Amino acid sequence: VETLRHVLLGEQPQHIMIGSNTVSFQEVPVTRRLFGVPTDSIDVGEEESVFAVRHPNGTLSLVTYKPVILENGDTLIIARTID
């Protein structure tokens, strides 16, 4: 739990073990072309998924249950299974 808290807060480390898999996290600033786009419409690759959105005011929206409409200043948190 502590490691996941660090990942969500943008602190180190940027990977965690989930079962037997290592999952890494990368923060990607939202570009202008994605403003107004819901997170469930973003194709980030086969082994990656949008995990959360960090907003400029510091709040974090997990996208597991409900897509988030991206806005200026948002940052995507992308999860990727390493092994």
pLDDT at residue number 4: 59
pLDDT at residue number 3: 58
pLDDT at residue number 8: 61
pLDDT at residue number 41: 94
pLDDT at residue number 9: 63
Reported as a single tens digit per residue, the pLDDT across 3-62 is: 556 556 666 556 777 788 888 888 899 999 999 999 999 988 888 999 999 999 989 899
The C-alpha atoms of residue 19 and residue 50 are separated, in whole angstroms, by: 20
pLDDT at residue number 25: 85
